[in-house]
Chains A and B, each alone.
Chain A
């Protein structure tokens, strides 16, 4: 079963507007972490934001915020004031389990391709 689901293969947004990229996850583990990564066409994976399962507040990093709804098992990424440079693939990922050295791999969703229009 897919652990991370990103239902939007592609999204379009006008420059300077906000956009929400959806992510739902599936886990029975009470301790987990959720991540968003950006992958531009050049290929590198850029970390954007992190939300821990026990965090009480939604994570924010500059123009990025994470709308964490634990009961719904969703962790949507909100990008405010979109810029042309935000055009990229965006991957939601999850780390399951308690802290164990070396068993903290991330499982990725299929990604959402965001295009920012001028």
Chain B
């Protein structure tokens, strides 16, 4: 079965540079989530999209932006990178809860960003 695809898997950037992460959700899933997981931390919710519209926002810095495109893939753009942005960035997708569905999030393998 198709899973959530994230690219790149690893990314090394310098401070103040820009990075873009891509996510391809599971086909027919209607919601995409972005999470940030710092070293030794739990995943922190950044932002979500439902049917290509931003639906919820968490602790996403103003330097970050995201969007979901017509083909349902999503991109997380990070500018003016700081050392503290070094983390594992997860994209997850789901089908909305309802009709017996649990709303389980299916995670991609993550994109590991290192800022030097």
Contacts and interface: CB of A to CB of B under 8 A. Distances in A.
Contacts of B86: none
Main SS at interface, chain B? strand
Q: How large is the interface on A (under 10, 10 to 19, 20 to 34, 35 or more residues)?
A: 20 to 34
Q: Does more than half of chain A's interface fall in helix, strand or loop, or is it mixed? A: loop
Taking residues whose C-beta sits less than 8 angstroms from the other chain, chain B's interface range is 20 to 34
B30 A101 contact: yes
A106 interface: yes
Given A43-B112, A99-B98, A105 B42 contact: no
A95 B53 CA distance: 20
Nearest to A111: B42
Interface in B47-87: 48-51, 53, 55-56, 58
A106 B105 contact: yes
A100 B48 CA distance: 13
